[in-house]
Amino acid sequence: MTAPPDDCLARNEWICGAYLSSRRQILLDALVQHVQLTFLSVLIGLVVAVPLAVLARRWSWAAGPVLAVTTVLYTIPSLAMFSLLLPLYGLSAGLVVAGLVLYSLTLLVRNILAGLRAVPEETRQAARGLGYGPVRLLLTVELPLALPAAMAGLRIATVSAVSLVTVGAIVGFGGLGNLIYAGMNTYFKAQVLTASVLCVLIAVAADLLLLGAQRLITPWTRAARA
């Protein structure tokens, strides 16, 4: 019998280079799953949130119920949200995505609606005076002016989604959360720390990417400040 190797894995250290090199593929797979789940749910959330916010802006009676429902959804803790969706989706990636969509919906609808409401009435009237119809007004005046607020909401929703994906580990689809969950059960310190740090890095990278995108698509906000 050979003596057990005396490396950082055997000593169960927090920071371990051998872990990174020997588990590269596992980490990469979890990372890809994490990013996919986040991207998909925020994208679906955005596709649903924009019409909801526009409708709530157009018919003011709809704003109250839409905001109330999304606030209630946001109050429900993530573990309970995923559990409530279990009978509908079973143990699947769809469950995690559906739960995350519901959360991002709240943040996105609130922010887009706030952005649309902040469009000055004079601007709207000026556009109408130039002969803009309601659709053209919405697409070329109101939505672009609501972009900064919408992008702020998108950034918050994305960062929150990255962190909430980890809870998906309860159904086996949690991206890096799976590694944290497995690492907890085996007291594997290097795995828990590495996966946690990667989670934060994804969140920061996504935030910076969206910030860059925001600057590219809303150049007038910088010009006004300068």
Partner 1 sequence: MSTLAAAWDWLADPAHWSGDDGIRHRLLQHLVLTVVCLLLSCLIALPVALVLGHLGKGGALAVNLSNIGRAVPTFAVLVLLLLTPVGRWGEGPTVVALVLFAVPPLLTNAYVGMREVDRGVVRAARGMGMTGRQLLFRVELPLSLPLLLNGVRIAAVQLVATATLAALAGGGGLGRIITAGFNLASTPQVVAGALLVAGFALVVEGVFETAERLAPAWARGGR
List the structure tokens of 87: 């009978």
Q: Contact between 218 and partner 1 (CB under 8 A)? A: no
Q: Identity (one letter) of the amino acid at 36?
A: Q
Q: Contact between 15 and partner 1 (CB under 8 A)? A: no
Dist CA 154 CA 43 (whole Å): 10
- Contact residues for 76 (Cβ-Cβ < 8 A; gap 6+): 84
- Contact residues for 153 (Cβ-Cβ < 8 A; gap 6+): 107, 108, 110, 111, 112
Which string of x and - marks every residue 79-108 that binds partner 1 (by CB under 8 A)? xxx-xx-xx---------------------
Q: Among residues 87 and 131, whose Cβ is nearest to partner 1?
A: 87
The residue range among 43-51, 55-63, 154-162, 212-220 that interacts with partner 1, by the rule CB under 8 A, is: 154-162
Residue 10's Cβ-count burial label (10 Å; 0-12, 13-18, 19+) is: exposed
Binder of partner 1 out of 9, 35, 40, 193 (CB under 8 A) = 193
Q: Among residues 96 and 127, whose Cβ is nearest to partner 1?
A: 96
Q: Contact between 113 and partner 1 (CB under 8 A)? A: no
Binder of partner 1 out of 167, 173, 178, 210 (CB under 8 A) = 167
List the structure tokens of 36: 């996919």
Dist CA 37 CA 14 (whole Å): 27
The residue range among 38-46, 114-122, 176-184, 210-218 that interacts with partner 1, by the rule CB under 8 A, is: 176-184
The residue range among 48-56, 122-130, 132-140, 195-203 that interacts with partner 1, by the rule CB under 8 A, is: 195-203
Count of H helices and E strands in the chain?
12, 0
Dist CA 144 CA 175 (whole Å): 34
Q: Contact between 72 and partner 1 (CB under 8 A)? A: yes
Q: Contact between 166 and partner 1 (CB under 8 A)? A: yes
Q: Identify whether the C-beta of residue 161 lies closer than 8 Å to the C-beta of residue 44.
A: no
Nearest distance, CB of residue 87 and partner 1, angstroms: 4
List the structure tokens of 49: 């949130």
Which residues are near partner 1 by CB under 8 A? Answer: 72, 75-81, 83-84, 86-87, 156, 159-160, 162-164, 166-167, 169-171, 177, 180-181, 183-184, 187, 189, 192-193, 195-196, 199-200, 203-204, 207
